[in-house]
Amino acid sequence: MVTKLLRQSERSTGELLDFSSQLQRQYEACTSPKERKERGQFFTPPVVARFMAGLLSTFPKHIRVLDPGAGTGTLSAAVCERTLLLRSPRHVELVLYETDPTVIPLLDENMRHWGSVLKRAGHRLAYDIRGEDFILSNPHACQQPTLFDVRTQLDQFDAVIMNPPYFKIQKSSEYARMMNHIIHGQPNIYALFMALAAEMLRPGGELVAITPRSFCGGLYFRGFRRWFFERMSLRHIHLFESRKDTFRGANVLQESVITSIVRSTKPPATITISTSSGADLQRNPCSRQMATAKVMDDTCGNMVIRIPENSEDARIMELVETWPKRFADHGLRVSTGPVVMFRATKFLLDSTNAKNTAPLLTVHNVRPFQTVWPVQNNGKPIAFKVCTESLKRRLLVPTRNYVLVRRFSAKEERRRLTASCFLKASEPGAYVALENHLNYVYHAERELSENETYGLAAVYNSVLLDRYFRTLSGNTQVNATELRTMNFPDLETLSRIGRCIKTLPTFPARDVEHIVLDEFGINGTLEQYLMDMAS
């Protein structure tokens, strides 16, 4: 349906692409990227807007649509363009929120333009541009419901189409105070837009949104997911294979997803997952159906949304989840390095010559299977002072066998997971300092053996687990919570893998992958897929 609409729209009119693109360029010419980033503005490419409008499954004779954070109005224009494809007359009513006074005249120009276009085609457009903060101007909708709550007072809509702003909010902010029954920690403003939009939908109303993928997992969004999916039913997820191509030139680090969600407490049997290469949606997006229970995993109480990019990743997800136990069930633990650099400056050393020092390990020291220290990095500290105060503040961990996992990866890197072995036998000191951008894996009750350490690192460095991890997370960040809740092989299996890995003179990716896949009996087309990616 969506592909058909894309093609019909491309043949029937160039209005959306031409006019909306012109307005976007006009606005961008008079503002700087820094200004737009501070406002959380990442304008929707017209072809993406067209795809999103095509996800609206119902289009009644009189449709009331909300566009919060409207920008130049590209999403609303896409709704208007879709109306042109309908034979019988439609009355489209748009409510558009936008706080940027610079962009509002362009938004009004866009809507006046589309009012004329629709009128010529026998349709009618009414629009209301509200130069107000979408969240702060609807406090009655944000508050926790009470016995005296009157929902009929709310603005109600048949559909919401949105590309909300994107920036973190502080726990003390007015936004957070208004919606503290939904959020936790320091969430992102876009989640509050999604929550408020859900409250303003009629039963059966549809929300189509393009947002970062981060709400699909992680602790900060757990309360939001629980609240949101008690009210909303996920129907369609669209994933972009290329993070950087979706919003060209905007330096977006998060993966973006388009979601189509219905105001309903009854989940569908299946969810459609489609994929495109960047913002190129004019070609046929690959799509498949997955059981809702496979996509929405609540087995750990976290309501995680898993999104495999393709059929091979779906098979990997099924295979990994045949492992009967989770990470913690094997006695394994993962913690985040305790050293936050700017809070520990008095203990940081740029030389290894001083007495009573410990190695300071950061992401620069972690290579596949190898912890390399010292590494000179533009004069940054490489050692840490061991003293009564640093020990009392628990900034050091005892020297043991650990697997170190980078918490962050650059968006250009092929692998999300990178793990090294830190071996007690290689470090004579009693302590090691681990920076906050590292996770470290250990056993809760005993020392990991060297074979187990190498086996753990091999599984983390494998394409198999990297692809599985990507179904759970669209971030460049690797959270300890996500590692804890993953299904994981038992320690005997890890030990066998580690024993084989230790025989390699170096650690070629294909050799590592072959050892891991052989242990799990993976062959055929899936083996070929993983081996090709390991090359």
Successive 10-residue mean pLDDT values, the chain, 535 residues: 45 59 82 73 86 94 96 94 93 96 94 95 97 90 58 76 90 82 78 94 97 86 91 94 54 76 95 82 78 90 88 93 92 97 96 90 96 89 97 97 88 80 95 97 97 98 95 80 89 98 95 97 95 92
Q: How far is CA 282 from CA 105, 309, 427, 468, 493, in A?
A: 30, 18, 56, 28, 46
Report CA torsion sign: 17, 22, 23, 26. Answer: positive
Which residue is listed with tokens 């400056």?
345
At residue 282, the pLDDT reads 61
365: Cβ contacts below 8 Å, ≥ 6 apart = 359, 371, 372, 373, 375, 404, 420
Which residues belong to CATH 3.40.50.150 in the chain? 2-140+149-307
Q: How far is CA 47 from CA 6, 41, 51, 93, in A?
A: 8, 18, 6, 22
Which residues belong to CATH 3.90.220.10 in the chain? 327-534
Residue 213 DSSP one-character state: G
Q: Dihedral of the CA atoms 401, 403, 407, 412 (nearest 10)?
A: 140
| Cβ neighbours around 181 below 10 Å, total | 12
Which residue is listed with tokens 């706080």?
99
Angle between helices 311-320 and 463-472 (to 10 degrees): 100
Euclidean distance between CA atoms 470 and 394, whole angstroms: 32
Which residue is listed with tokens 């004779």?
61
Which residue is listed with tokens 């009693």?
430
Domain 2-140+149-307 = CATH 3.40.50.150: yes
Angle at 188 between CA 304 and CA 473, to 5 degrees: 30
Euclidean distance between CA atoms 235 and 426, whole angstroms: 52
Q: Going edge to edge, which strands form the sheet with 270-276?
A: 124-130, 91-97, 62-68, 157-162, 201-212, 256-263, 232-240, 270-276, 286-291
CATH superfamily of this structure's domain 327-534? Adenine-n6-DNA-methyltransferase Taqi, Chain A, domain 2 (3.90.220.10)
At residue 12, the pLDDT reads 44
At residue 417, the pLDDT reads 94
Q: Assign residue 60 a region: left if phi > 0, alpha if psi is -120 to 50, beta otherwise?
A: beta
pTM summary value: 0.86
At residue 17, the pLDDT reads 59
CA-only gyration radius of the chain, Å: 26
Q: Give me the numbers of helices (H) and strands (E) for the chain, helices first please.
A: 21, 22
Q: Under a CB-based contact definition with an 8 Å cutoff, are residues 17 and 47 in contact?
A: yes
